[in-house]
Amino acid sequence: MNQQNVRNFSIIAHIDHGKSTLADKLILKTGALEQRVFKDQYLDNMDLERERGITIKAQTVRLPYRSQKGDAYTFNMIDTPGHVDFSYEVSRSLAACEGVLLLIDASQGIQAQTIANVNLAMAGNLTIIPVINKVDLPSADPDMVREQLEDILQIDSTEAILASAKQGIGVEEIMEAIVERIPPPEGDPDQPLKALLFDAWYDLYKGVMILVRVVDGHLKEGMTIQMMATGHTFEVEELGAFTPVPKRIDRLSAGEVGFVIAGIKKLDETKIGDTVTEFKNNCDKPLPGYKDVKPMVFSGLYPIDGDQYENLRDALKKLRLNDASFTYEPETSAALGFGFRCGFLGLLHMEIVRERLEREYNVDLLTTAPTVVFHLKPEHGDMVVIDNPSNLKKQDRTDTILEPYLRGTIIVPDEYVGVVMNLARDRRGIQLKMEYLTPKTVMLQYALPFSEIVFDFFDHLKSSTKGYASFDYEFLDFRASDLVKLDILFNGETVDALSMIVHRDKAYYRGRELVKKLKEQIPRQMFEVAIQASIGGKVIARESVKALRKNVLAKCYGGDITRKRKLLEKQKAGKKRMKQIGKVEIPQEAFLAVLRTDVK
């Protein structure tokens, strides 16, 4: 394909503004896939994505398009995820594009992630085609969105296309705009190969597959390639593109996007953001690459049944092949035995990993309460990373504990400004900025401790603003805070997996709330269970669960042995998600009780 007739673009939007629906329509309209084989949201092919209706992993498809003037084009379309946990995938995708379709819901208008994504696109000097979507809705207000485009994003609103991805309105116009407005890729086909590796995953049948955008030169089968950051060399076995079904092609030229299979055994041998070049005919210098993504939220994963430890290790290894953004390493807990400490990008990411492990690899898991990562700086000596509160052993007065802060951006109608300010203050937020975007819409920016927002901030924000607020965040820095370790004891024994690090001013409140919630979660046992919260050895709260003897067999008068067995089986199943700690049996829910306590 002539380089002049290639268009590489992404669709960016706030969550639920209709990216996947539009992507589907583009696939259908270009005739890449027949209606017969088409399933809604074709690109969301992971089961979980389909069930939750969200896009997790960015997908790329190559689409043929014949313009109204009759010329043939190739579109490379990259669908991007909308949730803030996965925003690193967005910036990755954008580096492979010359333009974006900026989708805005006509009834909701510009939201926090719209702004974050536009900033990324502008930083990458990409052409932006604004699309006002969902114009079919009775509540659609395209004029309001046009005004916002001008006022908030400084984008010429006459360029906006009115569309309904659902009903197929405006799709032709969008495809023509892609041809007319997005420039073809630059790059010199006669230079040595220079390609950006922007995604990689492990395919059960084909092994590691990498997705590249060729900048200069070309790739062809049989070529020996070299990864510039790692130095590894491989021979190209197969090249192809998703159309959306994988299709083999023998050459990828400057400006094109496609996948490469090159006998790469482990995902670790590839580095996303790396530059791929030809071995012995290297390009002069690598492309700028990406910042490494670091997990922000940590939690312990333990097999319910200790015998499943090796299975869990295997499952984690396999899953990591497909998701390099999550990390794991073995850890032991006095309470829970052998397990793994895992790092995630955020809570949604954590839930997804947990579900995939249980569903795809069939291991029953116990998850401990998530925590953010802290830095401990002793007066003398090196900084220690604390990704598990129980590792914070003894605190010296001279120790400094630092916690991660985020820059949170909130956009709300002006009548909710007071409510948002109160909420941010309760969460130790420091206001950085307040700006009227339009006479009725306000943007507030706060420096917020991550630990204060990780669990329930967004829910509170949504409910206190009747759903009108939108929120986006990015990592800011680590700051010293007055933090203490809160321990939980059952009958005098500390349960390390329940420890947490909290701000001193909130420690009493959190301790009291947590023991109350735990009391609700712990089933009555044959003896009384005392639940205590303590800080530095001093007990600050206590509740107790009264003793009870639950005799399931009492109901079985007579000697019906099958019935008796059934009841015992039932009781055993009920215990599945219990963990024996000392003499006390603790259900999974108890470990997550902290998620149900108000952070305030």
Ligand X SMILES: Nc1nc2c(ncn2[C@@H]2O[C@H](COP(=O)(O)OP(=O)(O)OP(=O)(O)O)[C@@H](O)[C@H]2O)c(=O)[nH]1
Q: With binding defined as CB under 6 A, does residue 10 bind ligand X?
A: no
Among 29, 166, 407, 542, which residue interacts with ligand X (rule: CB under 6 A)?
166
Residue list, annotated binding site: 16-21, 133-136
State the virtual CA torsion across 279, 281, 282, 284 in degrees, nearest 10: 180
The position carrying tokens 């509540």 is 139
Q: How far is the CB of 77 from ligand X (least distance, A)?
A: 13
Amino acid identity for residue 225 in this structure: I
Q: With binding defined as CB under 6 A, does residue 467 bind ligand X?
A: no
Among 10, 133, 148, 388, which residue interacts with ligand X (rule: CB under 6 A)?
133
Q: Could you give phi then psi for residue 32, rounded to 5 degrees?
A: -65, -30
DSSP state of 193: P
Q: Could you give phi then psi for residue 593, rounded to 5 degrees?
A: -60, -30
Q: With binding defined as CB under 6 A, does residue 15 bind ligand X?
A: yes
- Spatial separation of the C-alpha atoms in residues 580 and 562, rounded to whole Å: 28
| Interface region with ligand X, contact rule CB under 6 A, candidates 128-136, 190-198, 386-394, 539-547 | 128-136
Task: Tell me if the bond preceding 439 is cis, omega within 30° of 0.
Answer: no
Among 45, 47, 53, 385, which residue interacts with ligand X (rule: CB under 6 A)?
53
The answer to whether 235 touches 259, Cβ cutoff 8 Å, is no
- Spatial separation of the C-alpha atoms in residues 62 and 128, rounded to whole Å: 20
Which helix (H) or strand (E) element contains residue 179? helix 171-181
State the virtual CA torsion across 483, 484, 490, 493 in degrees, nearest 10: 140
Q: With binding defined as CB under 6 A, does residue 165 bind ligand X?
A: yes
Q: With binding defined as CB under 6 A, does residue 349 bind ligand X?
A: no
Q: How far is the CB of 206 from ligand X (least distance, A)?
A: 26
Q: How far is the CB of 169 from ligand X (least distance, A)?
A: 7
Nearer CB in complex with ligand X: 166/542: 166
Among 47, 71, 136, 203, which residue interacts with ligand X (rule: CB under 6 A)?
136
Nearer CB in complex with ligand X: 169/267: 169
The answer to whether 488 touches 514, Cβ cutoff 8 Å, is yes
Q: With binding defined as CB under 6 A, does residue 29 bind ligand X?
A: no
Among 48, 122, 137, 384, which residue interacts with ligand X (rule: CB under 6 A)?
137
Residue list, annotated binding site for GTP: 16-21, 133-136
Q: How far is the CB of 374 from ligand X (least distance, A)?
A: 31
Q: Which residue is nearest to ligand X (CB)?
A: 82
Q: With binding defined as CB under 6 A, does residue 132 bind ligand X?
A: no
Nearer CB in complex with ligand X: 101/535: 101
Among 76, 117, 164, 470, which residue interacts with ligand X (rule: CB under 6 A)?
164
Nearer CB in complex with ligand X: 54/200: 54
Q: With binding defined as CB under 6 A, does residue 17 bind ligand X?
A: yes
Q: How far is the CB of 50 from ligand X (least distance, A)?
A: 10
Q: With binding defined as CB under 6 A, does residue 118 bind ligand X?
A: no
The answer to whether 168 touches 25, Cβ cutoff 8 Å, is yes
Q: From residue 60, how far is each of 27, 157, 341 by CA, in Å?
A: 11, 28, 32
User: Which residues in the 372-411 window bind ligand X by CB under 6 A?
Assistant: none
Q: Which residues contact 274 (CB under 8 A, 6 or more apart)?
A: 197, 227, 228, 229, 230, 286, 289
Q: With binding defined as CB under 6 A, does residue 16 bind ligand X?
A: yes
- Spatial separation of the C-alpha atoms in residues 223 and 187, rounded to whole Å: 20
- Spatial separation of the C-alpha atoms in residues 43 and 7, rounded to whole Å: 19
Q: With binding defined as CB under 6 A, does residue 93 bind ligand X?
A: no
Binding residues for ligand X, rule: CB under 6 A, are 13, 15-21, 53-55, 81-82, 133-134, 136-137, 164-166
